[in-house]
Structures are given as C-alpha cells and as structure tokens.
C-alpha cells in the first residue's frame, strides 16, 4: 500500500481509474440545505438508497393495487416465492450455498430463533461466550436466553476481552478461555466484524476452536455482510445472522438474513419454533396436514414474507450482482488503505485508528479514537458536511463504502478533519 500519495491530484486520478465509479451515480446522495452533496461515511450504520429501489417497490404496489390477493401467483414477481428471488445473490455475498440461506425477520429476532435451536444447555455445559464489546443487542439477547433457561446471566456469560491497554481481542486469550472453561460452554456467539473497533475475526479459526471443545458456534455478521468475504460455509459455523440495512442498502429496519450450515439442513430433531412458511411448499396450503419441515435454512421461517421490504433488498442485491462482490472487496481494501494512509499522515496525537491495520482483518470501517473525547470533534465534522457515526465513549466510526464512496470523498474528509484539528 506504499503507492499512495498525498494531494488532490492523486485522489482525482484514482477516481478516474476506478472501474466501479459509475455505481456512485446509482445511489441517492444526501445533500445539505444548499444542495451540496454531503460526504457520507456511514454506510456501516445505514446504507444509501439505490435509485432503482423506488421502482422495485412501486412494481409490488402496482400489483397489489391491480391484482389484490392474486398477486401471490399472478404478479410480475409472484409473492408466493418472493424470498427465493433473494437467496442466490445473498448466498454468494456471504459465501454460502443457497440451501443454507434465507432472508426473514429482523436481526435480533433471528438470533433468538437460532438460539432456540442451537443453544442447548445442560447442567454441566450451559455458558455462552461472546466478545466483551459485542453489539449491545447481542449481549442482551444471550443474557435473556440464559435467564430463559433458568441460569444466572452473570455466571453464565463469559466475555472474551481485549488485554489491558489494548482495543483488539487476542486469539491466544480465546484459546486460554476454552482450555480452562471449554467443557462448560454450550455456545460461542461472536460478532463477525466488531461494530466498535471494526476488527474482522477469523471465523473459521473460531469455529474450529469452538468445535474442538464441543461448543456450538454462531456469528452475528451485521457489520460483515456486504462488507467482507465471510465464507460462511467454509468457516464451518453452525449458524449466522446479519441485517440488510447497512452495507446491503435495504432501508431502515429492513429484514435480516440467516445461515444454517448444510450439515443441519435435514435434521428434523433440532428444537425450533415453527410456522406455516417452514412447512413443505407442496402441501402448505392444504391447511390440515401435520407439520412437514422444509430442509435447509428455509425451515426456520415462520410467516409469509413482507414483500415491500424484500423488494428493497432485491433492488440492492441486483446492484451487487452487477458490481460483482469480488471487485467491490478489491476496491474496498484499496480505498480503505488510502483513507488509513491519509489519516496517518496527519500525524496528530489527538486521534488514533484502533481498527486493525492488516487489510484482511477489517472491512471498510475505520474507527478513530479521539483523545479526551466529548463528541466535539464529531459535531464539527457534521457541521463541515461529513456524516460519520459516534460511539461512546470515544470513537468516530467512518466507512468509505466501495459502491458509492469515492477517493475524493476520502480526500475531502481528511482535509476537513485536518482543518478542524488545527
């Protein structure tokens, strides 16, 4: 990454040479009151809206208006099978087989549904291990599962912590925890990319380690899906969940994805909550048959899907399909590397990047830790037309998303930051 250079001309040249630059024009860019485009660096929190999203949703509104209930079978995109339109591209993005993936529910709901099946505590093995700085919803969810099964959530929760004075967790510490307590741990549930630091964990290493101690292993990939190559199938994880409104640009609060490894695909003995949409498609509408479980991840569905939300996801996935995820990941590493280079060149003791410097251990998010933080720097960035994301106690999260962020975005960001710091 030593080929980066300072100056406006380098950023302009990189944008000119960017084979993905046209995709920026396919998204609505937020503007200030004077109509100037803001520098949007918060795709790790809410992705921007593809311009085709409105057409995709309008198509379903038209079919609803003109066909009513017949839209389930007669619509341009029949609603009865609509979730299947999303499966193949979503599976490619997360590195899974179509059998292993379904889009349904919201993120924490899916996490609970997965734990219904895969958290199987016994009197000896009942503890759950998560990273200490996991996204709060994950922590609340696993604590409530412990209480639901009659365990004390303080005793039953094991935290994989960073070492004193460090921000990033260490695999040797995880190995030590499992060596000491592995036979008491029923479930390891880690955020695939940590929301706070941006650290991308080695999913296969964690899954292999957990399985070697008899633990079930799952991942919350909310900050990984559409951002990094998760390779969920090859990781060997038992399950994973993710949301679609960050890097997958499906709109606020939109649906979640779920992955269940194919080795569990035909196991009808797994405990699970069920509903009519997890019933055999061929006999689903006979209504009086005994429950007949669908194989694969589809077997965890409960209800018929919300079409309008799925239409927005489909729009974004079609953009991904055209852009090609391999090309996006390649640009992401280069663009984020350029961002890191410019930030480091500021040589300012008031800020520090806490995200790993190894491009294979992060996605496009860089977390900037602010010395003596009181949110002032974040507020000044906002006033300067830069949309970032503040996380207590002292971090500004910034994500140059390869689909719609440019090298000029990064250059302008750092130039404005430099002015503010000085």
376-400 pLDDT per residue, tens: 999 999 999 999 999 999 999 999 9
Q: Are residues 289 and 328 in the same domain?
A: no
On the question of pLDDT at 1 being above 60, the answer is no
Whether 315 is in a domain gets the answer no
Region 78-105 average pLDDT? 97
**CATH code of the domain in which 408 resides:** 3.90.1150.10
**CATH code of the domain in which 215 resides:** 3.40.640.10
Region 30-59 average pLDDT? 97
Q: Which residues form the domain of 365? A: 8-48+324-421
Q: Are residues 277 and 145 in the same domain?
A: yes
On the question of pLDDT at 244 being above 90, the answer is yes
At residue 287, the pLDDT reads: 82
Q: Are residues 37 and 164 in the same domain?
A: no
Q: Are residues 158 and 260 in the same domain?
A: yes
Single pTM value for the model: 0.96
Count other C-beta atoms under 10 Å from residue 323's C-beta: 18
Using CA atoms of 134, 46, 203, 145 in order, give the dihedral in degrees to the nearest 10: 40
Q: Which residue has 């720097």 as its token pair? A: 377
Whether 72 is in a domain gets the answer no
Whether 214 is in a domain gets the answer yes
On the question of pLDDT at 97 being above 50, the answer is yes
Q: Are residues 143 and 274 in the same domain?
A: yes
Domain boundary, last residue among 276, 304, 332: 304
Q: DSSP string of 275-342?
A: -GGGB-TTTGGGSSSPP-BPSSGGGG--S---HHHHHHHHHHHHHHHHH-HHHHHHHHHHHHHHHHHH
On the question of pLDDT at 269 being above 50, the answer is yes
β 256-260/101-104 pair status: antiparallel
| The two three-digit tokens of residue 70, written as one number | 């017949």
Binned at pLDDT 50, 70 and 90, residue 370 comes out as very high
Binned at pLDDT 50, 70 and 90, residue 2 comes out as low
User: Strand, coil or helix: what is 106?
Assistant: coil
| CA-wise closest residue to 366 among 336, 330, 345 | 336
At residue 108, the pLDDT reads: 97
| The two three-digit tokens of residue 54, written as one number | 């409105």
Distance CA 177, CA 132 (A): 13
Q: Are residues 180 and 270 in the same domain?
A: yes
What mean pLDDT value characterizes the chain?
Answer: 96
Q: Are residues 177 and 95 in the same domain?
A: yes
Q: How many domains does the chain have?
A: 2
On the question of pLDDT at 289 being above 90, the answer is no
Count other C-beta atoms under 10 Å from residue 325's C-beta: 18
Region 110-136 average pLDDT? 97
């Amino acid at each position: 990454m030593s080929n980066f250079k300072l100056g406006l001309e380098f950023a302009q040249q990189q944008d000119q040479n960017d084979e993905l630059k046209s995709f920026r024009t396919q998204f609505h860019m937020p503007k200030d009151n004077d109509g100037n485009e803001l520098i949007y660096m918060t795709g790790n929190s809410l992705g921007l809206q593809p311009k085709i999203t409105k057409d995709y949703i309008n198509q379903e509104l038209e079919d609803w208006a003109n066909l009513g209930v017949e839209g389930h079978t007669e619509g341009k995109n029949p609603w009865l099978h609509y979730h299947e339109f999303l499966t193949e591209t979503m599976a490619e993005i997360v590195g899974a087989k179509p059998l292993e993936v379904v889009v349904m529910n919201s993120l924490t709901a899916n996490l609970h549904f997965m734990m219904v099946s895969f958290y199987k505590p016994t009197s000896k093995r009942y503890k759950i291990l998560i990273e200490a700085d996991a996204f709060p919803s994950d922590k609340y969810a696993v604590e409530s599962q412990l209480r639901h099964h009659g365990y004390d959530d303080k005793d039953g929760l094991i935290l994989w912590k960073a070492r004193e004075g460090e921000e990033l967790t260490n695999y040797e510490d995880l190995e030590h925890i499992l060596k000491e307590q592995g036979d008491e741990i029923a479930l390891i549930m880690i955020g695939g990319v940590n929301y706070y630091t941006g650290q991308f964990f080695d999913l296969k290493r964690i899954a292999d380690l957990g399985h070697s101690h008899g633990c079930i292993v799952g991942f919350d990939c909310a900050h990984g899906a559409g951002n990094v190559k998760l390779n969920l199938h090859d990781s060997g994880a038992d399950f994973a969940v993710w949301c679609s409104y960050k890097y997958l640009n499906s709109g606020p609060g939109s649906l979640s994805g779920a992955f269940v490894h194919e080795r569990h695909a035909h196991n009808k003995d797994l405990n699970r909550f069920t509903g009519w949409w997890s019933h055999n498609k061929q006999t689903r509408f006979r209504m009086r048959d005994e429950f007949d479980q669908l194989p694969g991840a589809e077997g965890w569905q409960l209800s018929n899907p919300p079409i309008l939300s799925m239409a927005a996801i489909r729009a974004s996935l079609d953009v991904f399909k055209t852009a090609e995820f391999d090309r996006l990941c390649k640009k992401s590493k280069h663009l984020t590397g350029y961002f890191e280079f410019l930030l480091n060149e500021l040589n300012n003791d008031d800020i520090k990047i806490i995200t790993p410097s190894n491009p294979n251990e992060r996605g496009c998010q860089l977390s900037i830790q602010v010395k003596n933080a009181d949110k002032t720097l974040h507020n000044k960035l906002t006033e300067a037309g830069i949309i970032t994301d503040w996380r207590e106690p002292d971090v500004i999260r910034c994500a140059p998303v390869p689909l719609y962020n440019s090298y000029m975005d990064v250059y302008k960001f750092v130039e404005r930051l430099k002015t503010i710091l000085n």
